[in-house]
Amino acid sequence: MSMRIGHGYDSHEFKLGVPLVIGGVKLEHTHGLAGHSDGDVLLHAITDALLGAVAAGDIGTFFPPSDKRWKGADSVIFLEEAMRQIEIAGFRVVNIDMTLILAAPKIVPHAEKLRARVAELLKIIPSCVGIKAKTPEGTGTDNAAIAHAVVLLESIPLETLLEEDEACVCVGEDEDF
């Protein structure tokens, strides 16, 4: 079995009057995050961590901000493409650890919901999803949300791949030519 590690980082500026979406979860707040997509800083960091782990470039490689198709896009689309890339490379997620740095809102009351959503998207259980939130003390970044994500991948066991292959063969054999 081989393993890979990936790190992702992102930051977005707060903007008054737009919805705040972090980790695929909509949070009540006066400000949302500005960006070409829905500004989901955490899903962007996770997407880069996954792509980085299999050396498949970064979020901009697949979804250039110059492309109008991704204006206001749900960032789940980006993460799902990254999951597809790691599966093509023969890997699956073991666990993830994340740190959010933002002045407000408080993340603790929403942490379980965020963990559950990220676990669902990464096809792992919530106990394999770590999330921590820090305030940006002394950094002068109160008007931004910053996210770091570190992800560990393991190669998909050969027997799992063989089972999938056998399932494909059976479908073919059942067909009457």
Task: List residues binding Mg ion (CB under 5 A).
Answer: 10, 44
Residue nearest to Mg ion (CB): 44
| Residue number with CB closer to Mg ion (86 or 144) | 144
CB of 51 to Mg ion, least distance (A): 13
CB of 136 to Mg ion, least distance (A): 17
| Residue number with CB closer to Mg ion (60 or 126) | 60
CB of 47 to Mg ion, least distance (A): 9
| Residue number with CB closer to Mg ion (37 or 85) | 37
Given strand 31-33, what is the order of strands in its sheet? Answer: 31-33, 3-16, 144-155, 91-101, 129-134
CB 49 within 8 A of CB 7: yes
CA distances to 41, 45, 107, 149, 155 from 115, in Å: 15, 15, 11, 13, 23
